[in-house]
Structure 1
């Protein structure tokens, strides 16, 4: 297999409009595609015949992988309060100054998880975004 560049990162969210607003305000993402009440395609991809979703893809003007947000309906799976469940993940955003970035995302309604933690490479912290997705802020040491 010849692998091409990463296309997108995807999150299941509880409220797509709230999630779009957060990622726009906190990280500068803009909607490039949105479809509401998608059923046929998501049922085909998941094999769940009762499923439908609202799906949005967001991009930043500086390029990089898109961020895909999906609000699923027609299932009984609970939301996760921490990024610990198998299959539950996060995306990491590298920032210049972690404390300032953390204040900004909290002002945009993100919830910090745990504490800022120091690693040999720098400092980082996990947060939960409105809508239930998870992200990490990373401040890397200068090399």
Structure 2
């Protein structure tokens, strides 16, 4: 029987691949591992890859790269020639609405995020139960193209249900 090991990557579509890569590097210090379009040529039309990944007919993947955060899932960044939808999704919308980045210092991470061109939705705040605890703080921000990203700092353990058999996975510092 097959087992699930965990999330390997999250894919996002952005309006400008190169600007997005620069933002993620400036905001989070990611490493660009590889570019599938550099390796395989590009652009890649839906007629070539759509059967594999659901790319809408008549569109092309202009650029695709995989980024590595220090510790956690990778991020695959797509630029599509005719994207659909909006860039200002929120947690009331269907689908993946945001992802969270675990940080050691929420204030420094917030400053780096805004210095890179992102916009915070609020000031960092204390997390509520069951994530509450001394030093546990969070904040949501939007990238320059509108993607919602949450940043969370956990200095104290969080509270689990008594019946929980696993603990939440958190990246190592």
Residue 4, structure 1, aligned to residue 10, structure 2: no
Partners of 1:115 and 1:25 in 2: CA distance: 20
After TM superposition, the score normalised by the length of structure 1 is 0.84
Residue range with higher mean Cα deviation, 25-34 or 98-107:
25-34
Of residues 61, 65, 71 in structure 2, which corresponds to 1:56?
A: 65
Partners of 1:64 and 1:94 in 2: CA distance: 9
Partners of 1:63 and 1:98 in 2: CA distance: 17
Tell me how many residue pairs correspond in the alignment. Answer: 140
Counterpart of 2:166 in structure 1 is: none
Of residues 108, 118, 143 in structure 1, which corresponds to 2:126?
A: 118
Partners of 2:19 and 2:113 in 1: CA distance: 14
Residue 109, structure 1, aligned to residue 117, structure 2: yes
Counterpart of 1:31 in structure 2 is: 32
Contact (CA 8 Å) 2:87, 2:145: kept in 1 or not?
Answer: no
Query: RMSD in angstroms over aligned alpha carbons?
Result: 2.0
- Give the 3 Å change call, closer, same or farther, for CA 18–47 of structure 1 in structure 2: closer
Query: Which fold has the larger relative contact order, with Cα–Cα distance below 8 Å and residues 6 or more apart in sequence?
Result: 1
1:37-85 per-position Cα deviation (integer Å, ceiling 9, x unaligned): 22221x222162112122111114x45321111122234x232324232
After TM superposition, give the deviation of residue 87 of structure 1 in Å. Answer: 1.1
Partners of 1:82 and 1:74 in 2: CA distance: 18
Partners of 2:59 and 2:97 in 1: CA distance: 21
Partners of 1:11 and 1:95 in 2: CA distance: 21
After TM superposition, give the deviation of residue 131 of structure 1 in Å. Answer: 3.2
- For structure 1, the residue ranges without an aligned partner over 5 or more in a row are none
- For structure 2, the residue ranges without an aligned partner over 5 or more in a row are 158-173
Residue 81, structure 1, aligned to residue 82, structure 2: no
- Give the 3 Å change call, closer, same or farther, for CA 37–132 of structure 1 in structure 2: farther
Counterpart of 1:98 in structure 2 is: 106
After TM superposition, give the deviation of residue 124 of structure 1 in Å. Answer: 0.8
After TM superposition, give the deviation of residue 125 of structure 1 in Å. Answer: 0.9
